[in-house]
Structure 1
Amino acid sequence: MNVLIRVLALALFIGSMQARAGIEAPPSSPLLQQLVTAVAADDKTASDNFWRSIEASHTPLVEQDADSPDVLMTFLWRALPEQGAVNVRVIPGELTSWEQVGDPLQRVAKTDVWYRTYRISRKARFTYYLAWPEGAVPRTDTIHRLTAGNGLVYEAVADPRARSTYAQERDGVRRLFSYAEGPEAPAEPFVKFREGAARGNVETFDVDSKILSNQRKVSVYTPSGYRKQGTRYGLLLMFDRLSYTSDVPTPTILDNMIADKAIPPMVAVLIDSRVTNDPDGDARSRELPPNDKYQSFLRDELLPLIRKRYNVSADPKRNVVAGSSYGGLAATYTALSNAAVFGNVVSQSGSYWWNPECCQSSPEKMVFLSENAGWMIKKVASLPRRPIRFYMDVGAWESADMLMPNRILRSVLEGKGYEVTYREFMGGHDYVIWRSTLSDGLIAVVGTKR
């Protein structure tokens, strides 16, 4: 019965999110309304004029909503019906159900304009894709292949007219992702590369683990002017190396923050989640959730190696462990397990829904509720308070599974007397958000103006 109640609650939550997104059938975009009027007046140039304006302003359209404090955000695709555009769908982050592979675009009659409009918070920022059934529109830039609830496979690509994009690099392959943002989305002062700014160095090498019986790559960032002798540097330990050197450009972010004296110079160690000797390709899901064997690897193998090679501090007040999703969960458990080393946690959308029974079978059969539900929350409640400072964030558009455990853990930490900085942002489970909030977290826990 509890499971049924929870499923119904999730369904209501998703429904309310879509209602808040303001999905509508007729054009509510003022610019689209002008197009409809021009077409009705038999203006043969209406469609071309519309696309000419779009090429200049890019997509999505962002217009003031006269009926709410939000903005109207309209996603667009150009094609004639026979080109298959009727199958194009937009997938804006957490606004739509991934099982349905987004919301289909609809056509403005007698034009080659296809659209979908949402009402969106002015503070929102989120990744989005365009998608269609596999093979319907031949592409060479597919980002994802997604399977819908009906079994259809969809290809998702970045919006070619997007106003904003970011790059992801994996194994020498560079892919672009499109993202959208409202006019009051949080500033990103440290994300973009600055010409002429002092740059740190990144060294990447393999680390063997006898404890875990595998090997992985580790990247180490040292700041500009780094010295092997003298005053030791604070240590930043981060999970998901590939994501935090590409999707989230951590070296660039650190360069800019250090240049602006927002944080003191730090050495950052980014640990890969991809390993050798990984038969099911899912080492990340085994290692990052609370795992004492993995903690032994960090404590007894990796950290001694880092201390031997780099001039890093042993003062937990200067050292940070950080990550997102499972990495946020791992960051909290790592600090609790090694409070003499890490006195600061940056948790971005931490997966505090996790419990030991949740993921022993296939993802479709994940068990969210058990007697161990809220495992990390109970762990924090049961332990004496440690000298650890926390920064936590989570997306207001994320599912109840993400939101509620983060909120509860925040309350438990505060009740135990921990110093906690907690934020909810207008977005989903999304690297385009985490790349901006990483600097917020570092400033909160080790900022120079604390």
Structure 2
Amino acid sequence: MIKNNLETELIKKLKFNIQIDEKKALNEFLEFLKEKGNPIIEPIIDEIDYSLVTIFHFAEQQINNVLIISQILPALTDENIEEHLLKRIRDTNLWYGTYKVRNDIKFSYNLFPNDSLLIRCKERCKNMRADKFNKNKLTFNRPGSFKVEIPYVKMPNSGENLWLEERIDIPKGTITKYEFESSYFIEPRGINVYKPSGYNKDSSPYGFITLTDGYDYINVLKAEQVLNNLIADKKILPIVAIFIDSTDKRSEDLSCNDLFCNSVVNEMIPWLREKYNLSKDPQKAVIGGLSLGGLTATYMGLKHSEVFGNVLCQSGSFWYKPIKSDKKKECKVELEKRSSELDCWMSEQIKLSPKLPLKFYMNIGVLENKKTMINNSLNVKNTLESLDYHVDFEFFKSGHDYLSWGQMLATGLITLIGYQDDTE
């Protein structure tokens, strides 16, 4: 998303009307936004690949600024902070920002009225305001946390997430919730298990997929609908899905934590085998996750290929490397700038590992951070391919923002365990 210094025809007309009769113009525009929705997308003459997107904010009280943060703006720095500020129309309570945006992407954004403008501000999230005029929102209402709504924009040629749509006329699987106790988890961990329609405990064992961040996969990424649709369309065989909920220790659990991985492999999976007819063939088992979960899926594949023969990595956080604290002697997560000439830590681990019977599906968003996300994902991909691993890699047209991971989950499953694998 590129800030556009030219005003759209809509803004020019609005400013003209405000100059003539401010109260009337603002009231009429407020009703327009309520009906039309925010933001306003306008075509660019003689340019088919981009449109102008204007995001508005009506302040309910006197404010000094409105900060906007989105992955299609550069990362916030002292040098570019002006690019992240909406403009105010005269002395009104109406603020706006106009941007030139690719027509084939989806993007999310957050608005922060009266921001401190400090680059590293721990309190910023508390000041976030959902865009009340945007009808498209990602809703996060995780247990034990406060509800968060994140507005997003679907550009005209961004496509649909077809695998996420619930269909009335197809067989549906069922989900059962469990509380799992282990020697690693301090408290019982929530697990949801998806059982496909027609599940038969006496049939041939079922393949299965295990996903971290289970709550988000079910409630935000619509994984249940994805599985129902894939199975109904015979894109994959009926499978069991295990969704492991995250806790406030997510960063610790999903930072290549051997204790967490061992608990899943040596305690959770055997415990579930007693309840479900799960295959013991690693080639029919998938470990997957997003962000840090994608990192951990890759790590768990390397460490436990005897259980998981397929790795589904979505926007893997391969910027990660463990460091040892002098005080606590424990691994911590560190975001560190690395030379593009060097392997990331995960690539180093892959090279140190013997060749394993693993197949990989990886994806990354075109709007994700190039240095920390895209380059490191490509580094891991290239490392795997140099060692003759089977890797399917694709870019999706959004960012690190839940807008495409559900659809890409379907793509990954088709790639890794689709029907075509059984007919080759």
Shorter-chain TM range is 0.7 to 0.9
How far 1:43 moved relative to its partner? Answer: 8.7
Q: Distance in 1 between matches of 2:215 and 2:390?
A: 30
Q: Aligned with 2:153: secondary structure? A: strand
Counterpart for residue 242 of structure 1: 215
Counterpart for residue 345 of structure 1: 311
Contact 1:60 1:163 survives alignment (8 Å)? no
Q: Aligned with 1:376: secondary structure? A: helix
Q: Distance in 2 between matches of 1:150 and 1:204?
A: 37
**Residues 215-364 of structure 1: matches in 2 within 5 Å?**
215-274=188-247, 281=248, 283-357=249-323
Please tell me whether residue 169 in structure 1 is matched to residue 157 in structure 2. no
Distance change in 2, residues 1:407/1:85 (3 Å): same
Q: Aligned with 1:95: secondary structure? A: coil
Q: Distance in 1 between matches of 2:195 and 2:147?
A: 25
Q: Aligned with 1:408: secondary structure? A: helix
Q: TM-score, normalised by structure 1?
A: 0.81
Q: Distance in 1 between matches of 2:261 and 2:3?
A: 46
Q: TM-score, normalised by structure 2?
A: 0.86
State the identity %. Answer: 30
**1:109-146 alpha-carbon deviations (Å, 9 max, x no partner):** 37553211111121221222222238x9xxxxxxxxx9
Q: Distance in 1 between matches of 2:362 and 2:344?
A: 16
Contact 1:217 1:272 survives alignment (8 Å)? yes
5+ unaligned residues in a row in structure 1: which ranges?
Answer: 1-20, 137-145, 275-280
Contact 1:273 1:284 survives alignment (8 Å)? yes
Q: Distance in 2 between matches of 1:361 and 1:46?
A: 58
Q: Distance in 1 between matches of 2:294 and 2:324?
A: 17
Please tell me whether residue 405 in structure 1 is matched to residue 376 in structure 2. yes
Q: Aligned with 2:245: secondary structure? A: strand
Q: Aligned with 1:243: secondary structure? A: helix
Q: Aligned with 2:406: secondary structure? A: helix
Q: Distance in 2 between matches of 1:181 and 1:187?
A: 9
How many residue pairs get aligned? The number is 409
Q: Distance in 2 between matches of 1:197 and 1:85?
A: 51
**Residues 22-421 of structure 1: matches in 2 within 5 Å?**
22-27=2-7, 29-39=8-18, 45-66=24-45, 68=47, 69-79=49-59, 83-93=61-71, 95-97=73-75, 103-109=84-90, 112-133=93-114, 148-149=119-120, 153=124, 155-171=127-143, 174-211=147-184, 214-274=187-247, 281=248, 283-357=249-323, 366-367=335-336, 369=338, 374-399=344-369, 400-421=371-392
5+ unaligned residues in a row in structure 2: which ranges?
Answer: none
Paired residue type of 2:217: Y
Q: Distance in 2 between matches of 1:117 and 1:185?
A: 19
Paired residue type of 2:300: T
Q: Distance in 1 between matches of 2:395 and 2:324?
A: 25
How far 1:105 moved relative to its partner? Answer: 1.7
Q: Aligned with 1:176: secondary structure? A: strand
Paired residue type of 2:54: T
How far 1:165 moved relative to its partner? Answer: 1.7
Contact 2:319 2:336 survives alignment (8 Å)? no
Contact 1:319 1:343 survives alignment (8 Å)? yes
Paired residue type of 1:30: E
How far 1:148 moved relative to its partner? Answer: 4.6
Q: Aligned with 1:242: secondary structure? A: helix
**1:77-114 alpha-carbon deviations (Å, 9 max, x no partner):** 2247xx22543332224525357798222123375532
**1:168-217 alpha-carbon deviations (Å, 9 max, x no partner):** 22227654331112112142002233344432211111111124555311
